[in-house]
Structure formats: C-alpha cells, structure tokens
Copies of this chain bind each other. A is one copy, B any other.
Amino acid sequence: MGDSKRPLRADAARNRARVLEVAYEALATEGTSVSIDEIARRAGVGAGTVWRHFPTKAALLSAVIVGRVHTLADTARELLTSGDPSEAVFEFLRVVIAEGALDRSLADAMAGSGIDLDVVAPGAEDEFRTALGELLVAAQRSGSVKATITAPDLKALIVGALAMQAYDAEVADRVTEMAILGLRP
C-alpha cells in the first residue's frame, strides 16, 4: 500500500512544484479570484498543464492549503524544540500573524464554498492538530496558559488569526494580543 502513484517524472515534478509555488504567491496576493490561466501564465506553462496536475480549481486551492498547513505544523514543532516551550504557543501565534499576510488564500478558500480540510487532507489536519496539542500541553505544563483552555480554543485562535489577517494585519495583531492576555492565567 502507498505505491498507488508512481513517482512523477522529473520534469513533471518540477512543473507541479512550480505551479504550486506560483499559485501560492498568486493566491496570497490576489485572493481566490486569480484565474487558472493567470497562474499558468506566471508559471510559464500551458493551462492544460495546470489542469493535468490539478483537475479543478478547488484541487489546486486544496493543494496550496495542505502545503501551508504542513509548513505551519513544521514551524510549531521547531518552536517547541528550539526555544522556550512555555512561550512557544505565543510565538507560534505571532508567526501565523506575521506570515499571514501571504495567507489570504487560506481563509478565502476555506471560507469560500466547499473546501474542508478534514476532507481534502485528513493527514494534514491531524498533523496540525497534534502540533497544536503539543504546544498547548507544553504551555500549560509550564503555567503560561490557563488550564481551562482547550485545543479547540487554540485552533479557533489560529484560524481566527488567519481570517482576520485576510482582512487587515493590524486588526489581527491587536485582537490576537488581547486574546493572548485571555489565555494567560
């Protein structure tokens, strides 16, 4: 099991990665209204090539989002092991905010009709939830976050930060700092 897809040919893999990268930037900059043609143009490939790799626009959006979720989960793990575990959760929130300017696509796409992370990439969702859980446990163990705070609270805060970021960076910043005060004992 797990070998249902042979590895892509080198050139195809290169194109796929290039499209994903360009799509991420384009979505972050322009929102979900960017056209597939525009993404293809920027990536220097034909529209059909985008279609080969991502047969619907939703599939492309999902792939971008899944990639972003992986990156965030990586970031969470790094913060936990490389710094002060009691502050890692707050650091993570700030990273989400700081990088969120590029993440208009996530909130847009997920708010937009019909993309459910649980459905398109259950693995990514689990990975993300696990990382968040570790951040939370570390913080509560060291007393920097109230014991009454739950993992869903934390996830809501992350998602909310992204949603606010999509609208306005300063708004996200201010509200998150207020909510962080509410997290502390």
A contacts, CB < 8 Å to B: 30-31, 33, 104, 107-108, 110-113, 152-153, 156-157, 159-160, 163-164, 166-168, 170-175, 177-183
A111 interface neighbour in B159, B160, B166, Cβ under 8 Å: B166
Residues of B within 8 A of A180 (CB): 182
**Known contacts A152-B174, A175-B156; A110/B182 CB under 8 A:** no
Residues of B within 8 A of A152 (CB): 174
Of B30, B108, B163, B181, the residue contacting A171 (CB under 8 A) is B163
Instruction: Find A179's partner among B33, B104, B163, B182 (CB 8 Å cutoff).
Output: B182
The minimal Cβ–Cβ distance linking A38 to chain B, given in whole angstroms, is: 14
Interchain CA distance A49-B30 in the complex, whole Å = 26
> By the criterion CB–CB under 8 Å, are A159 and B168 in contact?
yes
Q: Which residue of B lies closest to A174 (CB)?
A: B156
Q: Which of chain B's residues have a CB closer than 8 A to the CB of A104? A: 111
A181: chain B residues at CB < 8 Å are 179, 181-182
In the assembled complex, how far is the CB of residue A29 from the closest CB belonging to chain B, in whole angstroms?
A: 10
In this complex, the member of A156, A157, A180 whose beta carbon has the largest number of chain B beta carbons within 10 angstroms is A156
Q: In the complex, what's the smallest C-beta–C-beta distance from A159 to chain B, in angstroms?
A: 5
Q: Is A107 a contact partner of B167 (Cβ separation < 8 A)?
A: yes
User: What would 27 A/B residue contacts be, using CB atoms closer than 8 Å?
Assistant: A30-B113, A31-B111, A31-B113, A33-B112, A104-B111, A107-B163, A108-B111, A111-B166, A111-B167, A156-B171, A157-B175, A159-B164, A159-B167, A159-B168, A160-B160, A163-B163, A163-B164, A163-B166, A163-B168, A163-B171, A164-B164, A175-B175, A175-B179, A178-B178, A178-B179, A178-B182, A181-B182
